[in-house]
Amino acid sequence: MPPKFLFLGPSHLVMLGLTVFLTVAFIVLARRWPHSRLPSILGALPGLALICSYISYNVQRFRDGYWEPRYDLPMELCTWAAIAVIVTCFTRNLFTFELSYFWVMAGSIHGTLTPNLQEDFPHFYFFIYFIGHVCLVIASFYFIFAWKLRPRPGAIWRVFLMSELYFATAFTLDYALDTNYGYLMRKPTNPSFLDYLGPWPVYLIVLQILALGIFYLLNLPFRLAPREKRVEIRD
């Protein structure tokens, strides 16, 4: 029987440390050689890793005979954030950057801090889970501190509307398939910040209000800080 994942256990702490190390290393290297091809290459790596991990996950689920729409459709918020990150990694599109920044910093980062994971190292799903979530965090910080991308005016409301589109789509599928995409029907079994937001469906309403407040706080540094000249990076 594979070992069970332990919150803040040895493997979790190692992954948290690795997340910090890789994030800092990517940013330092990109800023050290801003006019080379290195920043573009480093920026593409999280996107490539996300694509490979998603394909590997689905292939393994099919091979094991476990793939089914109730659990494996791309309907987690982290999956939508991953799509936004992938597009930004290869295009530097500002709209998908805004989605990736707010979704990852307000939501997906909790998947690294408080993982909803049963399998521990060295299980296949342990690697798939952390590759997906760690790459989201690395990319989001990289976009800001290496590529110097910034949310535009009105970004909060654009992202909030896209978030509502996600919640409406996920809730409809949850009801139709009797599943729990986005934890909209019940909280995760592992400890998470949702435990502090009240019972269902109260925590869904609180989550909407909280999301707007967090988006505002995440946007505030860019509105208060003086405009920084973006570094032109050669592809």
Tens digits of residue pLDDT in 27-73: 999 999 999 999 999 999 999 999 999 999 999 999 999 999 999 99
Determine, yes or no, domain membership for 172.
yes
Determine, yes or no, domain membership for 214.
yes
Is the pLDDT confidence value at 190 over 90?
no
Determine, yes or no, domain membership for 17.
yes
Distance, CA of 159 to CA of 179 (rounded, Å):
25
Determine, yes or no, domain membership for 57.
yes
Q: What's the total number of domains in the chain? A: 1
Q: Under the phi-then-psi rule, with left for phi > 0, alpha for psi from -120 to 50, and beta for the rest, what region is 92?
A: left
Determine, yes or no, domain membership for 185.
yes
Range of the domain at 212: 10-224
Least-confidence region, from 8-22, 143-157, 162-176, 221-235: 221-235
Q: Is the pTM of this model over 0.95?
A: no
pLDDT at residue 12 in the model = 95
Task: Return the residue matching tokens 């990319």.
Answer: 139
Determine, yes or no, domain membership for 88.
yes
Helices (H) and strands (E) in the chain, counts: 9, 0
Average pLDDT, the chain: 92
8-state DSSP, 221: H
Distance, CA of 53 to CA of 78 (rounded, Å):
13
8-state DSSP, 6: -
CA angle 174, 52, 168 (to 5 degrees): 20
Handedness of CA 22, 83, 188, 197 (dihedral sign): positive
pLDDT at residue 226 in the model = 66
